[in-house]
Amino acid sequence: MSFLQNNIYYIGAFGLILIGLLIVLVKHNLIKVIIGLSIMDTGINLFLIAIGYLRNGTAPIFSSPEVESVLMVDPVPQALVLTAIVIGVAVLALALSLAIRLYKHFGTLDLRKIKELKW
Amino acid sequence: MRSVFSLILLVVIGAGVVFTLSSIPFGSTSSDVGEYYIDSGRADTGATNIVTSVVVGYRAFDTLGEVTVLFVAAIGLGAILAAGRENEEKKKAEWEPASLVLYTGCRFLFPLILLFGAYVFIHGHLTPGGGFQGGAIIASAFLMVYLGCRKKRISKTWARNTESISGLVFVVTGLTGLAVGGHYFLSNFLPEGTLNTLFSAGIIPIIYIAIGLKVGSELTGVIDDLIEESE
Amino acid sequence: MVNPVLLIAVPLGLAFMVPLIDSASRKLTRFVPVAALMFNLILCIRLIPAVLENPIVINLGGFTPPFGINLFVGPLGLLFAGLISLAGLVVSIYSLSYIKNGPVVKYHMLYMLLLTGATGVVLTGDLFNLFVFFEILCISSYALVAYHGDRAGIESSIKYLIQGTVGSGLLLIGIGFIYGIFGTLNMADIAMKIATVEQSTLFVPMILMVAGLGVESAIFPLNAWLPDAHSSAPSSISAILSGIAIEVGLYAVARIVFTVFGISDIYLFFAFLGILTLLIGEMCAFAQSNIKRMLAYSSIGQIGLILFALALATNNTVTGGLFQLVNHTISKGLLFLSAGYMIYRSGSMEISSLNGMGKRMPLTSLAFTVGAFSLVGLPPFAGFPGKFLIVSGALLKGQMVINILVGLVLLSTVIEGTYFFRVIQALYFKDGNGERKRAPATAVTAMITLMILIVALGVYPKFLADFLSSASSDLLDKMSYVGSVLK
């Protein structure tokens, strides 16, 4: 039980990443694939945050001059996640706009039916 | 067949990950770099939110790249949607007007949300929050107006120019640092002020305001493009 | 001294400014990329003497590494930055007349940002910063592949996006692991600390990062997106994707494998991977009847060859590999640019529709021929010294396995020669109808510039080879990299 308690964030993070990857690999609907990518992104963000976590730590913010700098979590992964979230949003927006166009052209989002370029 | 292969691949990845994670115990890792930031972040950058001092101070160049990523995505989305739209005739769908309660509620909330967004990015160096968060809040205000007041539209030129000018402010601030502030790109050339006050942390508030405006107008532009597409 | 950070800051600032310029004057926006890349090219040339003496390390924001982000401008980085601005400048001149329809302003902005992202990747000394710039490069190329908004473009763009996003996800997980293990993101700092942990721990992060970057750099088996994306993008973008984007991906792989990890046991594996990529690329190219797909597969093959040369990790082969890389950027650029106008005239991408082009478009056909000869590696052109250096350097190693691989390289050159001569035969020795017409002046300027470069590099290879030799020691000498960043 203590194994689960100690590693619950890692398990959750990689659970999300692997679920996302599985969706990308086996699903045929483009929207589902995009959702899979998004789940994977979320998992990665959780993983990065978990890397920098310190047990019983607080946020690294000195909101008043009295706050002491003991037991603060690592600020670097948080900064990285901020960047990673923005990049995720950017890719998501682009993917959805492509999905709109794809639907206009092909009338379907089923990736099995969109195979004109295979030789 | 495909799903069996995928599962095998995932199991392999999972096994590798478990193996590597065993050398990174959870909840006790502390890095030299992270500790340095916590100890001297306030003295180096003047920001009391250490995450901000990392995002806009130590790793400001990343943030410049990040802003650019969002910019690229917004332009890319516009380009993709515009490319297909050219050879289609425009047909205007008639929208049913929103009810009075919804309309008034949106108009009432709109300035308050804007104010909140501005608060979040102006106080980025003191409290949790910052340019990206504030920008997203501002864009959500516009999204609400689009959904609730239906016929209202923002001016595209206005949004594009805000985006453009605030992006320029970021780059020019960096270049000013290169010119006067110790010859480094993005270095702080303004006085750091007193900790925990609004006018402190040198260039950090300036950059965060620029980012807030940029992200706000960019996401609004994205929403605008997508809504135009649905008409 | 000029500051190398301007290579990134100035194009970025100009790209942000484009909407403002656009509202002032419509016509001016087309020339912004030309101006930005001209500026970058001049800056690169001015930096050469200083960089050859000592690599320039710039601490951004004034924070010393590993606390701040630093740029590392060594001969290798400068070579890539120069190549990006050179190819970018030529293609941006070509685009002036080639891109007429669609959201033109957005095209020029995306184009400029793509090249800025590429410049950032090759200059940065920070792992996460590399990821961010890599994303700029990738996202702008997803959008540019779909620029025309036609069926093929959208379909290949979405395929590219899905594979690229999974790739960058893997890269980010790898970076997360590295941060967890070493507590730092600075590449020099990691390289210094790499010996303090067991090699087996580093295996998974390295695989994840190489796989993530491998998607963009088209290493087999991660290159399924490439033929589609490169063939359905506008030709000017195909030239940049083939000539710049995959090379930059390869640079990132090489930097991470050589400088950051530096575990020499796995180099032979990469050599095998390179040969496999080479053979598959060339054989698929042989089977194509669509000219742009043929060129795209040929890019896969060339990347395999360059990877093979880099993986042998001796000064000679790396110099040869980099020479081949420069040659590939210029010749493949020339091939795509000339094919672009031939396709524009004939209205079809089939090789058979190019029959008799030698009479209808003499200059464009000549450009295609020069590019093809150079890529195959015929003597008076730039391809010869590169392949010669790779083969002779590999044979010098004197290992049986590598000799066999060199045999395969020569075999692939024969395949490459065959399919290019098939096209050239169609251009000159088959009859086709249609009137004689010139390409526009801007396109002609671009193609002639590249042709002159190819011939010049082929006749005076020593000029470039000396610079490449110091670039290859920049790549292989891990200790001096660490030393110059963490003073």
* Per-position pLDDT tens, chain C of length 487: 678 888 999 999 999 998 888 888 888 888 999 999 999 999 999 999 888 888 888 888 878 888 888 899 999 999 999 999 999 999 999 998 888 888 888 999 999 999 999 999 999 989 999 999 999 999 999 999 999 888 888 999 999 999 999 999 999 999 999 998 888 899 999 998 888 888 888 889 999 999 999 998 888 888 888 988 998 899 999 999 999 999 999 999 999 999 888 888 888 889 999 999 999 999 999 998 889 999 999 999 999 999 999 998 888 899 999 999 999 999 999 999 999 888 888 888 888 888 888 888 888 899 999 999 999 988 888 889 989 999 999 998 888 888 899 999 999 999 999 999 999 988 888 877 777 777 788 889 999 999 999 999 988 888 888 889 888 888 888 888 888 888 7
Note whether A119 contacts C176, CB cutoff 8 Å. no
What lies within 8 Å, CB to CB, of C234 at 6+ separation is C98, C99, C144, C147, C148, C340
pLDDT the model gives residue C150: 86
Note whether A61 contacts B127, CB cutoff 8 Å. yes
pLDDT the model gives residue B92: 58
Q: Looking at the complex, report in whole angstroms how far the Cα of residue B25 sits from the nearest Cα belonging to chain A.
A: 8
pLDDT the model gives residue C120: 93
Of the candidates A30, A47, A106, the beta carbon closest to that of C176 is on A47
Band of the pLDDT at B43, cuts 50, 70, 90? confident
Note whether C166 contacts A41, CB cutoff 8 Å. no
Find the closest chain C residue to B25 by CA distance: C180
Any alpha helices (H) in C73-150, and if so which ranges? 75-98, 104-123, 127-145
Which residues of chain B have a CB within 8 Å of the CB of A14? Answer: 14, 17
Which residues of chain A have a CB within 8 Å of the CB of B3? Answer: 25-26
Cα C28–chain centre separation? 28
Of the candidates C157, C158, C176, the beta carbon closest to that of A48 is on C176
Note whether A37 contacts C143, CB cutoff 8 Å. no
Q: Where are the domains of chain B?
A: 38-81+96-230
Q: Looking at the complex, report in whole angstroms how far the Cα of residue B95 sits from the nearest Cα belonging to chain C.
A: 28
Of the candidates B24, B57, B69, the beta carbon closest to that of C139 is on B69
Return the residue matching tokens 């300036």.
B206
User: Do C451 and C374 touch, CB atoms closer than 8 A?
Assistant: no
Q: Does A18 touch chain C (CB under 8 A)?
A: no
Of the candidates C150, C169, C185, the beta carbon closest to that of A40 is on C169
**At what angle are helices B60-85 and B156-180 packed, to 10 degrees?**
150
Which residues of chain A have a CB within 8 Å of the CB of C160? Answer: none
Q: Which of B10, B75, B86, B163 to mutate to test the interface with C (most CBs of C within 10 A)?
A: B75
Band of the pLDDT at B83, cuts 50, 70, 90? confident
Does the pLDDT value for residue B39 go beyond 80? yes
Note whether C165 contacts A102, CB cutoff 8 Å. no
User: Do C16 and C109 touch, CB atoms closer than 8 A?
Assistant: no
Q: Looking at the complex, report in whole angstroms how far the Cα of residue B188 sits from the nearest Cα belonging to chain C.
A: 7
Note whether A94 contacts C139, CB cutoff 8 Å. yes
Q: Does B76 touch chain C (CB under 8 A)?
A: yes
- Give the helix/strand (H/E) hosting C58: strand C56-59
pLDDT the model gives residue C66: 84
Note whether C58 contacts B61, CB cutoff 8 Å. no
Does the pLDDT value for residue B88 go beyond 60? no
In the chain, the amino acid numbered C246 is I
Of the candidates A6, A62, A85, the beta carbon closest to that of B26 is on A6
Give burial (CB, 10 Å; 0-12/13-18/19+) of A2: exposed
pLDDT tens sequence across B131-187: 899 999 999 999 998 888 877 777 888 888 888 999 999 888 888 888 776 667 777
User: Do B66 and A87 touch, CB atoms closer than 8 A?
Assistant: yes
Note whether A51 contacts C179, CB cutoff 8 Å. yes
Domains of chain A and any CATH numbers: 2-57+70-106 (1.10.287.3510)
Nearest to C223, CA basis, from C146, C276, C152: C276
Higher pLDDT, C322 or B202: C322
Q: Does C39 touch chain B (CB under 8 A)?
A: no
Which residues of chain A have a CB within 8 Å of the CB of B62? Answer: 79, 83
Instruction: Tally DSSP H helices, then E strands, for chain A.
Output: 3, 0
In the chain, the amino acid numbered C387 is K
Q: Does B171 touch chain C (CB under 8 A)?
A: yes
> Strands C56-59, C70-73: parallel, antiparallel or unpaired by DSSP?
antiparallel
pLDDT tens sequence across A23-78: 998 988 999 999 999 999 999 999 999 888 888 888 888 877 777 777 788 888 98
**Residue C356: which region, alpha, beta or left (left: phi > 0; alpha: psi -120 to 50)?**
left
Q: What are phi and psi of C290, to 5 degrees?
A: -95, 125
pLDDT the model gives residue B231: 65
pLDDT the model gives residue B176: 84
Note whether A47 contacts C179, CB cutoff 8 Å. no
Which residues of chain C have a CB within 8 Å of the CB of A117? Answer: 152, 155-156, 227-228, 231-232
Note whether C132 contacts B75, CB cutoff 8 Å. no
pLDDT the model gives residue B98: 78
Measuring CA to CA, how many Å separate C198 from each of C174, C180, C189, C201? 16, 14, 17, 6
- Which other chains touch chain A, taking contact as 3+ CB pairs less than 8 Å apart? B, C
User: Do C278 and C412 touch, CB atoms closer than 8 A?
Assistant: yes
Cis amide bond preceding A60, omega within 30: no
Does the pLDDT value for residue B26 go beyond 80? no
Cα–Cα distance, B140 to B113 (Å, whole number): 8
Q: Looking at the complex, report in whole angstroms how far the Cα of residue C60 sits from the nearest Cα belonging to chain A.
A: 17
pLDDT the model gives residue C135: 93
Q: What does the pLDDT average to over B112-121? A: 92
